[in-house]
Amino acid sequence: MTIKIDIMAEIIYLNGYLIPRSKGKLSPFDHGFLYGYGLFETMRAYNGCLFHLDRHLTRLYQGAEMLGLAAKLASFDLKAACRETLRANSLKEARVRLTISAGEGDMAPEPGTCSGLTILVTAKNFIPLPPQRYEQGFKAALSSVHRNSQSPLSRLKSTCYLENILARTEAKAAGVDEAIVLNERGHLAEGSISNIFLVLQGMLITPSSESGILPGITREAVLEIAQTSNIRAVERKVELKELTLAGEAFITNSILEIMPLTCFDGKSIGTGKPGELTKNLMAAYRKLVNIETSAAGRCCP
Ligand code: PLP
């Protein structure tokens, strides 16, 4: 028997109000909808606490600055909006999405016509992937989609997510879990929904921000863990062939955390099993989450 979810009971935050999902209405002239003129953050709540909420909001504010939306954003308490949405839905383990858009404007792409922002927060119960998926690791394939490292869009988590959707569609068609995207120079950039790390000769390597990547919150946490654990880590230009030579590889994002990559374009990475350094980093990341989302942790109000 299929389980029906009562969407009436689901509460969303829309433009300053917590309302039932069924009452949420957006303008047909919202420039987020018409032109992808918006930004979003996907966050993970553990034990009722949003992990690295401040870092997600800082990235969003930086993006809003670039898109000319920061001044209007200042009158909203986004931290409270995210926390209240989580609480209103009585969720402990959750995936929370904050979306902002330029709001209603002219039918033409004239940013100056947008009157106010649209701000939406949604939260869903989160069931992690089974541990076996982490023990097997993900398979990845090279995407035909390229990142433009010179485009400001590559560094923004914008609602204009089409390139990533195309890359994901390719990955799905190829029967793999993630698409690996190169930049216009043929260097490794990231995954369609993740950042990528390699382990080569004991060193942790990840494409630098100049490679045209989204500066991932999880990527940043992994680099900090490496630093405190005396693991040599470097952010630099990464050649595609280094992925095929790597002893270990993994991808990161706020929802998957650290997922080993064990196969690329049909060939095993390293032994074809999650490597030792990857497993140590996975354990260290979980430890960090536990500390920060415990009652005394910094991620809690
Ligand atoms: N790169 C892209 C293109 C993404 O979409 C994401 C997350 O969805 C990431 C990287 C990882 O970002 P974060 O660690 O902040 O979740």
Which CATH number belongs to the domain containing residue 183 in this structure? 3.20.10.10
Of 125, 149, 176, at which residue does a domain stop? 125
Which CATH number belongs to the domain containing residue 67 in this structure? 3.30.470.10
Beta bridge partners of 160: none
What pTM does this model have? Answer: 0.95
Q: Residue 92 C-alpha to ligand 1 middle, in angstroms?
A: 22
Nearest CA to ligand 1 atom 4: 193
65 occurs within a structural domain? yes
CA distances from 72 to 56, 91, 279 (A): 18, 29, 43
Is residue 151 domain-shared with residue 67, that is, in the same domain? no
Nearest CA to ligand 1 atom 7: 193
Lining ligand 1 with CB less than 6 A are 42, 164, 190, 193-195, 214, 216-219, 252-254
**Contact yes or no for 166/43 (Cβ under 8 A):** no
The predicted pLDDT at position 88 comes to: 97
Q: Residue 15 C-alpha to ligand 1 middle, in angstroms?
A: 25
The predicted pLDDT at position 296 comes to: 66
For tokens 């920061």, the residue is: 70
Of 194, 208, 250, 258, the residue with max ligand 1 atoms within 8 A of its CB, to mutate for a pocket test, comes to: 194
The predicted pLDDT at position 294 comes to: 87
Is residue 140 domain-shared with residue 281, that is, in the same domain? yes
Compute the distance between CA of residue 73 and CA of residue 67 in angstroms, rounded to an integer: 11
The tens place of each residue's pLDDT in the chain, 301 residues long, gives 555 555 568 999 999 999 999 999 999 999 999 999 999 999 999 999 999 999 999 999 999 999 999 999 999 999 999 999 999 999 999 999 999 999 999 999 999 999 899 999 999 999 999 999 999 999 999 999 999 999 999 999 999 999 999 999 999 999 999 999 999 999 999 999 999 999 999 999 999 999 999 999 999 999 999 999 999 999 999 999 999 999 999 999 999 999 999 999 999 999 999 999 999 999 999 999 999 998 766 666 6
Nearest CA to ligand 1 atom 5: 193
3-class DSSP state of 121: strand
Q: Residue 194 C-alpha to ligand 1 middle, in angstroms?
A: 4
Is residue 94 domain-shared with residue 147, that is, in the same domain? no
Q: Residue 293 C-alpha to ligand 1 middle, in angstroms?
A: 21
Task: Check residue 211 and report its DSSP letter.
Answer: G
Nearest CA to ligand 1 atom 12: 216
**Contact yes or no for 83/301 (Cβ under 8 A):** yes
Of 104, 125, 146, at which residue does a domain stop? 125
- Cβ-count burial of 300 within 10 angstroms (0-12 exposed, 13-18 middle, 19+ buried)? middle
Mark 46-70 as b/e (b = at least 16 C-beta within 10 Å).
Answer: bebbbbbbebbbebbeebbeebebe
33 occurs within a structural domain? yes
Compute the distance between CA of residue 198 and CA of residue 69 in angstroms, rounded to an integer: 36
3-class DSSP state of 217: helix
3-class DSSP state of 119: strand
- Cβ-count burial of 126 within 10 angstroms (0-12 exposed, 13-18 middle, 19+ buried)? middle
- Summarize the chain as % helix, strand, coil (round to 5): 35, 30, 35
50 occurs within a structural domain? yes
Is residue 114 domain-shared with residue 258, that is, in the same domain? no
Compute the distance between CA of residue 2 and CA of residue 16 in angstroms, rounded to an integer: 34
Nearest CA to ligand 1 atom 10: 194
Of 102, 125, 148, at which residue does a domain stop? 125
Q: Into how many domains does the chain fold?
A: 2
- Cβ-count burial of 230 within 10 angstroms (0-12 exposed, 13-18 middle, 19+ buried)? exposed
216 occurs within a structural domain? yes
Q: Which atom of ligand 1 is nearest to the CA of 221?
A: 14
Is residue 284 domain-shared with residue 149, that is, in the same domain? yes
Of 53, 164, 195, 224, the residue with max ligand 1 atoms within 8 A of its CB, to mutate for a pocket test, comes to: 195
Q: Are strands 11-14 and 138-147 parallel, antiparallel or unpaired?
A: unpaired
The predicted pLDDT at position 5 comes to: 53
Question: Which amino acid does the sequence have at 93?
Answer: E
| Tokens describing residue 195 | 């950042």
Is residue 86 domain-shared with residue 180, that is, in the same domain? no
What are the residues whose beta carbons fall under 8 Å from the beta carbon of 1, sequence distance 6 or more? none
208 occurs within a structural domain? yes
4 occurs within a structural domain? no
Compute the distance between CA of residue 146 and CA of residue 190 in angstroms, rounded to an integer: 10
3 occurs within a structural domain? no
Q: Are strands 178-183 and 138-147 parallel, antiparallel or unpaired?
A: parallel
Is residue 86 domain-shared with residue 116, that is, in the same domain? yes
Is residue 114 domain-shared with residue 138, that is, in the same domain? no
Is residue 179 domain-shared with residue 209, that is, in the same domain? yes
Is residue 48 domain-shared with residue 174, that is, in the same domain? no
Q: Domain span at residue 42?
A: 10-125
267 occurs within a structural domain? yes
Q: Give which of 78, 13, 45, 71 is closest to 300, Cα–Cα.
A: 45
Is residue 71 domain-shared with residue 172, that is, in the same domain? no
| Half-sphere exposure at residue 212, Cβ-oriented, CA atoms within 13 angstroms | 21
Is residue 179 domain-shared with residue 201, that is, in the same domain? yes
Q: Residue 147 C-alpha to ligand 1 middle, in angstroms?
A: 14
